Amino acid sequence: MARPKQRTAELRDRVVEAAMAMLAADGVAGLTTRRVAAGAGTSTPAVYELFGDKGGLVREVFFKGFELLGARLSAVPGTDEPRADVVATIQAFRRFARANPVLAQVMFSRPFADFDPGPDEARAGATVRELVIARVRRCVDAGDLAGDPVDIAHVLVALAQGLASQEAARWLGTSKASIDRRWALGVSTVLEGLRPG
């Protein structure tokens, strides 16, 4: 009788979920393949067989993060007010980063020495980029913003990443009101500065 296959897609998903849960609970320093294997109910060799090494596992977490962020941003409904839709998209980015601060760090800050995103990883964020570009393009087409939609989208995502990083590090303020105010100031200042002259 043939031995049942151990390295299944279900196990792969379970290991990635365990890694994400471990990152959320223990941060970057707490992520080891041995602990992830135990959390997923499998062996360390199984993790290496599935992902090659720890960098391969982090790569899958990176991809999963962009999949989740893309779904979160796609869930923001479009309205007949393009500028409000851009603001709502940035707010959804913020909610994602607040709910998943360590995952956002993996996605945007490269905290692991054994994982350096390359061209394939850059494509992982394509859904997010294209969604933001499409929302910005609507603003440009409506005359609410002036400039290249791709450039504007990059600036807005960079602003959101920076503000999210500052908020996660508790450098953006000591109260919810001050943090919210600084987010609103950053986004509104960029959008006002991009209005047609």
pLDDT of residue 2: 40
- The four Cα atoms 197, 136, 102, 185 give a dihedral, to 10 degrees, of 30
Residue that terminates a domain, selected from 26, 52, 78: 52
pLDDT at residue 108 in the model: 87
Stronger pLDDT, 152 or 122, i.e. the higher one: 152
Domain match, 172 and 157 both:
yes
141 burial class (0-12, 13-18, 19+ CB within 10 angstroms)?
A: exposed
Mean pLDDT of 8-24: 93
Same domain, 161 and 74: yes
Q: Which among 62, 178, 172, 56 has a CA at the least distance from the CA of 109?
A: 62
The three-class DSSP label of residue 195 is coil
Pair 66, 157 in one domain: yes
- Give tens-digit pLDDT for 37-85: 999 999 999 999 999 999 999 999 999 999 999 999 999 999 999 999 9
Q: Which domain holds residue 7?
A: 1-52
The CATH number for 86's domain is: 1.10.357.10
Q: What pLDDT does residue 114 have? A: 75
Cα atoms in the 13 Å half-sphere on the side-chain side of 72: 20
Q: Are 21 and 115 within one domain?
A: no
Q: Is the pLDDT confidence value at 190 over 50?
A: yes
Q: Are residues 63 and 132 in the same domain?
A: yes
Whether 47 and 81 share a structural domain: no
Q: How many domains does the chain have?
A: 2
- Can you give the pTM of this predicted structure? 0.89
* Same-domain pairing of 63 and 90: yes
Instruction: Flag the least confident range among 115-119, 178-182, 184-188.
Output: 115-119
**Is there a single domain that holds both residue 63 and residue 48?**
no
pLDDT for residue 5? 46
Mean pLDDT of 157-177: 94
Same domain assignment for residues 98 and 183: yes
Last residue of a domain, which of 52, 70, 95?
Answer: 52
Tens of pLDDT, residues 106-132: 988 878 877 777 777 777 888 889 999
Which residue, of 33, 52, 71, is where some domain finishes? 52
pLDDT at residue 4 is higher than 50:
no
94 with 181, same domain: the answer is yes
- pLDDT band of residue 6 (cuts 50, 70, 90) is low
Same domain, 97 and 122: yes
Residues 20 and 102 in one domain: no
Residues in the chain: 197
* Region 92-96 average pLDDT: 97
DSSP 77: P
Which CATH number goes with the domain that contains 44?
1.10.10.60
